[in-house]
Amino acid sequence: MQTYRNTVDGNLAEPASRYEIFNPANGQSLGYAPESDEQEVDRAVHAALLAQKTWAKRSDGERRDITLKIAQILEDNSGYLAELLTREQGKPLSGPGSRFEMQACVGWTQVPASLELPPETVYEDDERKDTLHRVPLGVVAAVAPWNWPLMIAIWQIIPAIRMGNTVVLKPSEYTPIATLEMVRLISEALPPGVLNTVTGDGNIGSKLTHHPDISKIMFTGSEATGRHIVKASASNLAPITLELGGNDAAIVLPGTDIKRIANDLFWGAFLNMGQTCACIKRLYVQEDDYEAVMSELSAIASQMKIGDGMDESVLIGPLQNKMQFEKVRNLVSDARSAGCDVREFGEVPEQGYFLPITLVGNIMDGQRLVDEEQFGPALPIIRYRELDDAFESANRLDAGLGASLWTDRPEETIELATRLEAGTVWVNQHGAIHPMVPFGGNKASGYGVEFGIDGLKAVTQSRVISIKK
Ligand code: NAD
256 and 238 together in one domain: no
User: Is 173 close to ligand 1, i.e. is its CB under 6 Å away?
Assistant: yes
Backbone φ, ψ for residue 358 (5° rounding):
-125, 125
How many degrees, rounded to 5, is the angle at CA 388 between CA 391 and CA 253?
Answer: 75
Closest Cα partner for 149 from 121, 174, 118? 174
Q: Would residue 2 count as lying in a domain? A: no
392 and 294 together in one domain: yes
112 and 230 together in one domain: yes
Q: Would residue 219 count as lying in a domain? A: yes
Report, as residue numbers or ranges, the catalytic residues.
Answer: 243, 277
Q: How far is the CA of 222 from the centre of ligand 1 (A)?
A: 4
44 and 176 together in one domain: yes
Q: Output the domain CATH number for residue 428.
A: 3.40.309.10
| Tens digits of pLDDT across the chain (469 residues) | 899 999 999 999 999 899 999 999 999 999 999 999 999 999 999 999 999 999 999 999 999 999 999 999 999 999 999 999 999 999 999 999 999 999 999 999 999 999 999 999 999 999 999 999 999 999 999 999 999 999 999 999 999 999 999 999 999 999 999 999 999 999 999 999 999 999 999 999 999 999 999 999 999 999 999 999 999 999 999 999 999 999 999 999 999 999 999 999 999 999 999 999 999 999 999 999 999 999 999 999 999 999 999 999 999 999 999 999 999 999 999 999 999 999 999 999 999 999 999 999 999 999 999 999 999 999 999 999 999 999 999 999 999 999 999 999 999 999 999 999 999 999 999 999 999 999 999 999 999 999 999 999 999 999 999 999 9
399 and 454 together in one domain: no
153 and 172 together in one domain: yes
Instruction: Report the pLDDT value the prediction gives residue 71, as an integer from 0 to 100.
Output: 98
Instruction: Report the pLDDT value the prediction gives residue 16, as an integer from 0 to 100.
Output: 86
Instruction: Report the pLDDT value the prediction gives residue 15, as an integer from 0 to 100.
Output: 94
| Minimum-distance ligand 1 atom for the alpha carbon of 445 | 41
User: Is 374 close to ligand 1, i.e. is its CB under 6 Å away?
Assistant: no
Closest Cα partner for 269 from 255, 284, 257? 284
Q: Would residue 226 count as lying in a domain? A: yes
Could you tell which of 6, 108, 147, 229 is best to mutate to test the pocket of ligand 1, judged by most ligand atoms within 8 Å of the CB? 147
How long is the chain? Answer: 469
Q: How far is the CA of 321 from the centre of ligand 1 (A)?
A: 14
85 and 109 together in one domain: yes
191 and 281 together in one domain: no
Q: How far is the CA of 292 from the centre of ligand 1 (A)?
A: 36
209 and 311 together in one domain: no
Q: Output the domain CATH number for residue 15.
A: 3.40.605.10
36 and 132 together in one domain: yes
Q: How far is the CA of 401 from the centre of ligand 1 (A)?
A: 14
Contact 199, 35 (CB under 8 A): yes
Please tell me the residue having the least CA distance from ligand 1 atom 30.
221
235 and 283 together in one domain: no
Q: Would residue 175 count as lying in a domain? A: yes
Helices (H), 244-342: 258-270, 290-301, 322-337
Q: What does the alpha-carbon distance between residue 413 and residue 127 come to, in Å, rounded to a whole number? A: 48
How many degrees, rounded to 5, is the angle at CA 105 between CA 93 and CA 175?
Answer: 60
Instruction: Report the pLDDT value the prediction gives residue 23, as an integer from 0 to 100.
Output: 98
User: How many domains does the chain divide into?
Assistant: 2
Going by DSSP bridges, is the β-strand pair 249-252/282-286 parallel, antiparallel, or unpaired? parallel
Closest Cα partner for 309 from 104, 147, 95, 103? 95
User: Is 441 close to ligand 1, i.e. is its CB under 6 Å away?
Assistant: yes
With residue 334 as reference, give the H or E element that holds it.
helix 322-337
Q: Would residue 193 count as lying in a domain? A: yes
Task: Determine the structural domain holding residue 27 and report its residue range.
Answer: 7-244+445-468
Q: Would residue 190 count as lying in a domain? A: yes
User: Is 228 close to ligand 1, i.e. is its CB under 6 Å away?
Assistant: yes
Q: What does the alpha-carbon distance between residue 183 and residue 170 come to, in Å, rounded to a whole number? A: 11
219 and 267 together in one domain: no
Q: Would residue 440 count as lying in a domain? A: no
